[in-house]
Amino acid sequence: MRMDMNRRDFIRLCGGTAAMLGLSYSWVPEIAQALEQAAKRPPVIWMSFMECTGCLESFAKSVNPSTADIVLDIISLNYQENIMAAAGTQAEADLKKTIGQGGYIAVIEGAIAVGIPEAMMVAGKTSLELVKELTQNAAATLCVGTCAAYGGVQAMRPNPTGAKGVKDAIGAKTVNVPGCPPNPAHMLPTIVHYLLFNKIPDLDSDGRPLFLYEQKIHDNCERRAHFDAGRYVTQFGSKEETLQYCLYKMGCKGPETHSPCPKTLWNNKQSWCVKCGNGCIGCMEPNFWDRFEDFYQQLPNVPIPGFVGVETSADWIGSTLVTATMAGVGIHAVTTAAKGRFKKHPEEGEGPPPAKTEASQGSED
- Give strand pairing partners of 145: none
Secondary structure (3-state) at 288: coil
159 binds ligand FSX (CB under 6 A): no
Q: How far is the CB of 245 from ligand FSX (least distance, A)?
A: 29
Give the Cα separation of 314 and 333 in Å (integer).
16
Q: How far is the CB of 202 from ligand SF4 (least distance, A)?
A: 25
Among 181, 251, 282, 330, binds ligand FSX (CB under 6 A): 181
Give, to the nearest 10 degrees, the angle between helix 28-36 and helix 7-20: 110
Which of 10-18, 110-118, 147-155, 219-227 is the region at the interface with ligand SF4 (rule: CB under 6 A)?
A: 219-227
207 vs 119, 175, 281, 304, 361, CA distance in Å? 26, 5, 20, 27, 36
- Neighbouring CB atoms inside 10 A of 23's CB total 22
Q: Which option in ligand FSX, ligand SF4, none does residue 223 bind, with CB closer than 5 to 8 A by kind?
A: ligand SF4
249 binds ligand SF4 (CB under 6 A): no
Report the residue number, 64 or 278, with the smaller CB distance to ligand SF4: 278
Give the Cα separation of 128 and 149 in Å (integer).
14
55 binds ligand FSX (CB under 6 A): yes
Burial class (CB in 10 A: 0-12, 13-18, 19+), 340: exposed
Q: Is 276 a catalytic residue?
A: no
Report the residue number, 58 or 215, with the smaller CB distance to ligand FSX: 58
Q: How far is the CB of 279 from ligand SF4 (least distance, A)?
A: 5
Torsion of CA 170, 173, 177, 179, to 10 degrees: 30
DSSP letter at 58 equals H
Strands (E), 111-174: 112-113, 121-122, 125-126, 140-144, 163-164
Among 13, 221, 229, 283, binds ligand SF4 (CB under 6 A): 221
Over the window 121 to 150, marking each residue x when it contacts ligand FSX by CB under 6 A and - when it does not, the resulting string is: ------------------------xxx---
Residues interacting with ligand SF4, by CB under 6 A?
Answer: 217-218, 221, 223-224, 227, 246-248, 252, 254-255, 274, 279-280
Residues with a catalytic annotation lie at 52, 55, 147, 180, 218, 221, 246, 252, 261, 273, 280, 283
Residues interacting with ligand FSX, by CB under 6 A?
Answer: 51-55, 109-110, 145-147, 152-153, 180-181
